[in-house]
Amino acid sequence: MTVYVLRRLTQALLVLFVTSGLVFGGLYLVGDPVEILVNPQADQEERARTAAALGLDRPALEQYGIFLKGVFTGDLGKSFVFGRPALEVILERMPATLELAFLAMVISVGLGIPLGLYAGLRPHSFGAKTIMAGSILGFSLPTFWVGLLLIMVFAVQLGWLPSTGRGPTTEFLGVQVSILTWEGLRYALLPSLNLALFKLSLIIRLTRAQVREQSLLDYIRFARAKGLQRSRVIGVHLMKNILIPLVTVIGLELGSVIAFAVVTETIFAWPGMGKLVIDSIFQLDRPIVVAYLLVTVFLFILINLAVDLLYSALDPRVRLTEHKG
């Protein structure tokens, strides 16, 4: 097990290296940061000064080399826009995104699995059909559209919740967190709901599909025939078997919630990483984008590793590749 985890982590380094190269090259192709950063009034001399100050006057490969050299000393470069270490800027924004992702996952898993179970166990009931039809709304309407609708209904029309922004923060384990107070939660509710909608529909549909699948298998029939309580059959036998694909998708979605809360954060003016990265992409703030990618890809690697480990915990028959050689 340890060997397996260690090997996965070594591979992670290679993955991170490839990622950095890809982003670096990709952004280089998009455009020249100087064009975006300088004040429009700037003359040619000022443009040249900016390029030199940010090291953009050197050949691309040399710039990448300087970046790699920095990485070995733990320096991911300074943001062009903020003039601060890129990693620092990202870590500063991370708690806001993580708490939003956390709330969104709580909503989508907490509602999704029960609703999906219900829809799967009573597939022909009216309730199940309503749930399934409703879930289509969840993933077919674009996030930005639903987001504005939420604001218009709950903030402008009804006035129940604040329209945008992040609430007051409190310190928790050395991190600024807003969702521990009621006031902070009020701010987080709409954006996390907006973010959860797609995941919620996906989890409902997936759970239902798995339940339908499994409930017809022999072991469930057998367990029922044995006269086991229905709740126990569902709770233990069924749940255990529908979890593997669910865990995969939940893992995937957790990653995507963290990394790509871009649209939701933009609409709700939520000061997280998603908002940061989209602004940085559009301003060609390369150090931020590269550092951000390294952080999120690393996060994905960790999540996927956790998911793979969970497989074997959930179903001992699944062997990790390690043993196969």
Does the footprint of another protein cover residue 60 (CB under 8 A)?
no
Considering only the stretches 68-76, 102-110, 159-167, 224-232, report the one whose residues sit in contact with another protein under the rule CB under 8 A: 159-167
Question: For residues 227 and 325, which CB has a smaller minimum distance to another protein in the complex?
Answer: 325
Number of Cβ within a 10 Å radius of residue 166:
23
Output the six-digit token pair for 90. 């990202």
Number of Cβ within a 10 Å radius of residue 99:
25
Q: Of the candidates 156, 175, 306, 313, which one interacts with another protein according to CB under 8 A?
A: 156
Does the footprint of another protein cover residue 271 (CB under 8 A)?
yes
Does the footprint of another protein cover residue 2 (CB under 8 A)?
no
Task: Tell me the Ramachandran region of residue 176: left when phi exceeds 0, alpha when psi lies from -120 to 50, beta otherwise.
Answer: beta
Report the distance separating Cα 147 and Cα 180, nearest Å: 23
Q: Of the candidates 58, 69, 84, 230, which one interacts with another protein according to CB under 8 A?
A: 84
Question: For residues 107 and 307, which CB has a smaller minimum distance to another protein in the complex?
Answer: 307
Could you tell me where the DSSP H helices lie in the chain?
2-30, 33-37, 44-53, 60-72, 86-121, 126-140, 143-150, 182-215, 218-225, 230-232, 239-259, 262-267, 273-282, 286-314
Smallest distance, another protein to C-beta of residue 38, A: 5
The size of the chain, in residues, is 325
Question: For residues 103 and 220, which CB has a smaller minimum distance to another protein in the complex?
Answer: 220
Report the distance separating Cα 130 and Cα 119, nearest Å: 9
Q: Of the candidates 233, 267, 288, 291, which one interacts with another protein according to CB under 8 A?
A: 267
Question: For residues 161 and 228, which CB has a smaller minimum distance to another protein in the complex?
Answer: 161
Does the footprint of another protein cover residue 121 (CB under 8 A)?
no
Q: Of the candidates 24, 67, 80, 118, which one interacts with another protein according to CB under 8 A?
A: 80
Smallest distance, another protein to C-beta of residue 28, A: 10
Question: For residues 231 and 325, which CB has a smaller minimum distance to another protein in the complex?
Answer: 325
Q: Which of residues 164-223 bind another protein (CB under 8 A)?
A: 164-166, 198, 201-202, 205-206, 209-210, 212-213, 216-218
Sign of the torsion formed by the C-alpha atoms of 203, 206, 209 and 215: negative
Q: What is the DSSP string of 69-93?
A: HHHHTT---B-TTT-SBHHHHHHHH
Report the distance separating Cα 259 and Cα 90, nearest Å: 12
Does the footprint of another protein cover residue 263 (CB under 8 A)?
yes
What is the helix (H) or strand (E) element at residue 170, kind and residue range?
Answer: strand 170-172
- Site for another protein (CB under 8 A): how many residues? 117
C-beta separation of 169 from 188 below 8 A = no
Q: Of the candidates 111, 181, 228, 283, which one interacts with another protein according to CB under 8 A?
A: 283
Considering only the stretches 62-70, 102-110, 230-238, 312-320, report the one whose residues sit in contact with another protein under the rule CB under 8 A: 312-320
Question: For residues 16 and 228, which CB has a smaller minimum distance to another protein in the complex?
Answer: 16
Torsion of the alpha carbons at 300, 301, 307 and 308, rounded to the nearest 10: 150
Q: Which of residues 217-256 bind another protein (CB under 8 A)?
A: 217-218, 244-245, 248-249, 252, 255-256
Q: Sketch the per residue contact string, 4 through 43, with another protein: x for CB under 8 A, - otherwise.
A: -------x--xx--xx--xx--xx-xxxxx-xxxxxxxxx
